[in-house]
Amino acid sequence: DAISDDRALRRGAGRRSKRSYQATRARRR
4-27 pLDDT, tens digit each: 767 766 766 555 566 766 777 776
Identify the pLDDT of residue 18. 67
Are 24 and 13 within 8 A, CB to CB?
yes
Local structure of residue 24 (DSSP, 8 states):
H
Identify the pLDDT of residue 11. 67
Identify the pLDDT of residue 6. 72
